[in-house]
Structure formats: structure tokens, C-alpha cells
Amino acid sequence: MKIVITGSRGFIGKYLRSALDKHNIVEWDTKIGKDIKDFYLDGDEDFVIHLAGLISPRDSINDPHDYWLQNVEYSKKIFDTCKDVPMVYASSAAAKEYWRSPYGTTKKVLETLAHKGHVGLRFESIYGDGASDIGLITRIKNGTIKYHTNHIRDFIHIDDIIGAILLFIMQGTRDALPYYEVGTGKEHLVSDVVKHFGVDVPEKEGDDIEIFRSIADITEMKKLGWKAMRSVYD
């Protein structure tokens, strides 16, 4: 298959490229000089995976214009260019309470712009080797965490994220729902996770920028034969 991956050099993208190494991969990433604002298709693509975009709810508060430009306007161009090509794209659990941040708003808007056959995956808190420095598990393991909050989270390993994407490549998106929630379906107190890893930092009350309790409803993903295999405590 000829598969296009935007954000191919990012955290999810690098794992996905490895999983799809037997396919013809077309990469779009600024790290290789291919910006999605210039996106185009050759016309013979079989599938598109759109991962490119900005990812921090907190940063989006300070720069909402850039988040809108990168996450909505450029993505709309990709959606319209790929309207007849099956696609999976990165949405976010933040779309569930989108009003909390410009980032969440951009992800919710994406779900209204996508065409039939374009499937949004509302990822929960992703972790794994090479994850973003803004992620809790990464900050715990690299020693940069300074405090923890009282939020409740659903932590999902990168291997399970890749498995979810591969499922749609294999099964197709024609009869799929507009979006799916992707996580373990299990809740974890952030304080418990921090203690599990033996980190002693003060607790700080969570603010309104992020969802207080975010757990994926994986009912629809389970109907497709998928479930997460990894635990944050593995």
C-alpha cells in the first residue's frame, strides 16, 4: 500500500513508520523539509494518516492563533485534498471538553471538518520511549516533574496507539464512526502513578485548562476487536 503520514518524524509517526516498513510510505514533516501547508497528493495513495499539529493545551492559551493555523486551517486543506482517500487523523481526549483550551477547540473543530471515511482518534494520555516532554510519565522518568495534580487520567502506551491505527488500515474506514475514543478505559489518579514510580513531589490542585477526569469510553473500539494490552504499571 501507498500510505501518507503527516508528522512522520514525531513521536507517534516514528513508531508508525517502523510498523509500516513493508509499505510505500510518503512522509510529510518539517524535519525533512515538507511542511503540511504545502500538502498535496500524487493521486495513487491508498491511505492517509494525519498526525501533524501542535499538542499542548497550555501553550495554546498563549498562542491560540498559531494553534488554529496549524491544527485547523492546514488540516482542512489536507482533509479537502484527501476527501476521497481513507484517513485516520489524530484528534484528542481534549475534544470532549473542548472549551477548556484553544487546543481542545481545534481538535473538536477538526471533527466537524473531516469528510466521510476520515476517522478521528481521540487519544488519551500517551506514554512510551520518546514521548513528548510535556507528558507526565516522561517527566517522571527523566526527573523533570516538579509537582503533581489531583487529575484522573487514562494512560495508553504507544504500542496500543499504533495497534489502533493499524486496525483501521486493515479494516478500512468506509463504515467507521466519525471518531473513536482510544485509551485503556481504566482510570488512574495522577498522585497514585507518581507514588508508584517512587517520586516525591508536592501536590498542586489542577486548574481549569485541562479536563479533571479523562477516561476513554472504548465500547466502540472493542466492537472492532481492539483493546489496549499495556498498563502504565508494567
Q: How far apart are CA 108 and CA 75, in angstroms?
A: 12
pLDDT, position 206 = 80
Rounded to 5, what percent of the chain is helix, strand, coil?
40, 20, 45
User: Max alpha carbon distance in the chain (Å)?
Assistant: 54
pLDDT, position 120 = 98
Q: pLDDT of the chain along its 234 residues, tens only?
A: 999 999 999 999 999 999 999 999 999 999 999 999 999 999 999 999 999 999 999 999 999 999 999 999 999 999 999 999 999 999 999 999 999 999 999 999 999 999 999 999 999 999 999 898 888 899 988 889 988 888 999 999 999 999 999 999 999 999 999 999 999 999 999 999 999 999 899 988 888 898 999 999 999 999 999 999 999 998
pLDDT, position 135 = 86
| C-beta neighbour count of 97 within 10 angstroms | 16
Q: How far apart are CA 56 and CA 226, in angstroms?
A: 27
Fill in the amino acid letter for 189.
L
CA 219 from centre of chain:
18
What residue ranges define each of the domains in the chain, with the CATH number in brackets?
2-223 (3.40.50.720)
- 2-6, strands of its sheet edge to edge: 24-28, 2-6, 47-50, 87-90, 118-123, 179-182
Q: Please, what is the Cα angle at 64 between 62 and 70, to 5 degrees?
A: 125
Please say whether the beta carbons of 65 and 41 come within 8 A: no
**pTM of the predicted model as reported, rounded to 2 decimal places:** 0.95
Helix (H) or strand (E) holding 4: strand 2-6
Unique residue bearing C-alpha cell 498542586 = 204
